[in-house]
Amino acid sequence: SEKAAPEDLLFSYKGILYPTTVCSPETCQALDSFEARSDDVILVGYPKNGSNWLGQVLNDLEITAAKYTEQEINERMNISNELLILPRLEFGDPEKFKRMKELPSRRIIVTHLSPQVLPKSIFKSKAKILLLVRNPKDTAVSYFHFYNNMPTLPSFSSWDEYFTAFMHGKLCWGSYFDYLVEWNKHMDDENIMVITYEELKENQTLGLKKIADFFGFFVSGEEIQMVAEKSSFEAMKEKSFKTHGTFGKILFRKGTVGDWKDHFSEAQNKQMERKFEECLAGTKLGEKMKY
Ligand code: A3P
């Protein structure tokens, strides 16, 4: 089906593009009216790094650890859905930040925003931040398919055209590389933990245990196992219509490591490796992301 013109689908705020269907300049401008709490659970990650996956994991860990009743779970989900917090902090209307005060702790907050754009109170509050990262090549491939399949994002006529846009950061939420360079400046902050998509794929239970320890979720090994089973790619894909509507089909695409090999030319592979080296070689984040 036909898509609207790119200028109708996107807007720019502080030099970074956002999709008009879910974000607005007013909401971006109101970000600093958000008041973070020290016990907020914050998940940050560039688009397509697995934030829907880990958002569910964090929500399930909190629900399990706090031993909510069925009714409390439903109430939490209703407000959370209404305020679009689990979807993304930057989605929805500017009033949401005031209404977020009504939400009981611990709030699970997911965002693609760069540290320069994130509400300042997040850093001041010392809320714990989990940075989810995924290797640049699979991120690029995942975002390519997402762009072309989402009616609300402009399409690219070819992989090569898209690749150039990715390398120049001309995509929603800006440059993947700038995003990592900015977060890399926070690697010595005591309240930040990094986890990679690849390590989670390799051993989800171990990854979830690290995450639970970091945030201080009191959950048993058995409970972690249960959360891991519920959040496997297959389980989430199967339920995707219920959880994400028609959007689910686009979102839960492949869920693998190494899909880039079917898309990249040798020259593109070299170009991206060079760019990654330029941006992150020898840094803490760069080391963590060796794959
Ligand atoms: P692919 O397009 O490579 O399949 P985000 O949620 O940040 O938009 O990221 C989406 C990517 O995470 C997609 O990658 C999607 O398939 C993958 N994903 C979603 N749920 C997953 C899960 N439970 N396990 C592994 N990968 C998952």
The residue whose C-alpha atom lies closest to atom 2 belonging to ligand 1 is 142
**Ligand 1 pocket by C-beta < 6 Å: which residues?**
47-53, 138, 142, 145, 231-233, 236, 252-255, 259
Q: How far is the CA of 255 from the centre of ligand 1 (A)?
A: 5
The residue whose C-alpha atom lies closest to atom 24 belonging to ligand 1 is 233
Mean pLDDT across 6-30: 94
pLDDT in tens, 127-172: 999 999 999 999 999 999 999 999 999 999 999 999 999 999 999 9
Q: How far is the CA of 194 from the centre of ligand 1 (A)?
A: 17
Q: Is the peptide bond before 106 cis (omega within 30 degrees of 0)?
A: yes
What pTM, to 2 d.p., does this model score? 0.96
What CATH topology corresponds to 6-288? Answer: Rossmann fold (3.40.50)
Cβ-contact 115, 187 below 8 angstroms: no
Q: How far apart are CA 246 and CA 262, in angstroms?
A: 26
Examine the pLDDT at 220 and tell me if it is beyond 80: yes
Place of tokens 């994991």: 57
Residue 291 confidence (pLDDT): 59
Q: How far apart are CA 19 and CA 151, in angstroms?
A: 11
Atom of ligand 1 nearest to the CA of 46: 7
Q: How far is the CA of 10 from the centre of ligand 1 (A)?
A: 23
**For all residues of the chain together, what is the average pLDDT?**
94
Examine the pLDDT at 7 and tell me if it is beyond 60: yes
Residues labelled as active-site residues: 112
Residue 76 confidence (pLDDT): 84
For a pocket test of ligand 1, which of 52, 199, 240 has the largest count of ligand atoms closer than 8 A to its C-beta? 52
Residue 103 confidence (pLDDT): 87
Atom of ligand 1 nearest to the CA of 112: 7
Mean pLDDT across 234-257: 93
Residue 75 confidence (pLDDT): 87
Q: Output the six-digit token pair for 235.
A: 């389980």
Examine the pLDDT at 189 and tell me if it is beyond 70: yes
Residue 77 — pLDDT band, cuts 50, 70, 90? confident
Residue among 291, 269, 13, 4 nearest 163 (CA): 269
Q: How far apart are CA 108 and CA 42, in angstroms?
A: 6
Examine the pLDDT at 1 and tell me if it is beyond 60: no
Q: How far is the CA of 75 from the centre of ligand 1 (A)?
A: 27
